[in-house]
Amino acid sequence: MTSVRTLLEKPWIWSFAGALVVWLATVAFTGGYGAGGMVTAALSLAVFTVIVGVGQMFVITLGPGNVDLSLPANIGLASAVAMKVMGGSDSMIVVGLLAALACGAAIGAINYLLIWALRIPPIIATLSASFIIQSVDISYGRGLQIKPSPGFADFTNRQVLGIPVLAMLTVVFTIGAALALQRMIYGRSVLAIGQNIRAAWLAGVHVGRIRFLTYTLCGALGGIDGALLAGYFRGANVDIGNEYLLASIAVVVIGGTSVAGGKANVPGVWGAGLFLVLLLTMLNTFGVSAGVRLVLTGLIIVGVITAAGGEKAVR
């Protein structure tokens, strides 16, 4: 009994519960058909949300006002860069991934540079940056070889016993992220800055360096996500990252991370990622039209946020 209670007190349990409910509802609707396949599909799609979600989580944990709005543009550009560098040949896969990583990290670093040099809120800095990245992508991606190499496409789609390889790797990555957050000086510093930036500074935390690292990390994750997305969907395009603006913020908040900063939750990102993907699967299974699907997705997100409630006035 007490173990159940401690489990219920975990902020991340609700996102997994939500995912389970949505999955059960869909399975009940299909009469048990495709229950396993649905989990496989959900895992392989949730991966992309989880990767950017973790990046966004670190940024949001830095405190009120910290959010990276440039992720969609970043993902779009990095996917094009990765596919261009790979040039359709398997021998260049690692180089392509590194290029995407570097591209994303550079965007993250530029974001922080704008925040620091212009002393503007991160929302505006990442917004202005995303305007420019978007244009670079449109102009760079035009008439480009945008197909992934066959080996890379296979790798991003490979499954072992119904579990996508990417999902396994992402689980390893998120465990690493959780350790970094709770056990490493870097993560503790991020949390400290989010709780009280001035107190953290007085306590000797290198505030500027940690914030720079966090934005760069988030950008790099966006970059690698772009490359993986392009591999999974067998092609890059400008709009490939569009849905990840809402998704990255939503998984962080639904997953139990405080929008006021200073309190982060890695497992919740997985739960919320699965919840969002399964929600879409459910609405598709029910056969609702695109309009109804959008309305319901929006209402459910607003509903979940309302139920979870905020703690402090934040933006």
Residues that bind another protein (CB under 8 A): 63-65, 67, 114, 117-121, 123-124, 127-132, 134-136, 138-139, 142, 197-198, 245-246, 249-250, 253, 259, 289-299, 301-302, 305-306, 309-315
Q: Which two tokens stand for residue 172?
A: 């390893």
In the complex, what is the shortest distance from the CB of residue 287 to another protein, in angstroms, rounded to a whole number? 15
Pair 72, 249: CB distance under 8 Å: no
Comparison of 40 and 128: residue with beta carbon closer to another protein: 128
Comparison of 165 and 296: residue with beta carbon closer to another protein: 296
In the complex, what is the shortest distance from the CB of residue 122 to another protein, in angstroms, rounded to a whole number? 9
Comparison of 51 and 249: residue with beta carbon closer to another protein: 249
- The conformational region for residue 234 under phi > 0 = left, psi -120 to 50 = alpha, else beta, is left
Query: How distant, in Å, are the alpha carbons of 24, 207, 230 from that of 199?
Result: 46, 10, 42
Identity of the residue numbered 136: V
Strands (E), the chain: 159-160, 163-164
For residue 38, which of 49, 28, 52, 27 has the smallest C-alpha distance? 27
Comparison of 222 and 231: residue with beta carbon closer to another protein: 222
Comparison of 75 and 129: residue with beta carbon closer to another protein: 129
In the complex, what is the shortest distance from the CB of residue 120 to another protein, in angstroms, rounded to a whole number? 5
Report which secondary-structure segment, H or E, holds 227.
Answer: helix 207-232
For residue 237, which of 132, 56, 82 has the smallest C-alpha distance? 82
Handedness of CA 298, 304, 306, 311 (dihedral sign): negative
Torsion angles phi and psi, residue 160, rounded to 5: -120, 120
In the complex, what is the shortest distance from the CB of residue 260 to another protein, in angstroms, rounded to a whole number? 8
Comparison of 29 and 131: residue with beta carbon closer to another protein: 131
In the complex, what is the shortest distance from the CB of residue 82 to another protein, in angstroms, rounded to a whole number? 21
In the complex, what is the shortest distance from the CB of residue 123 to another protein, in angstroms, rounded to a whole number? 7
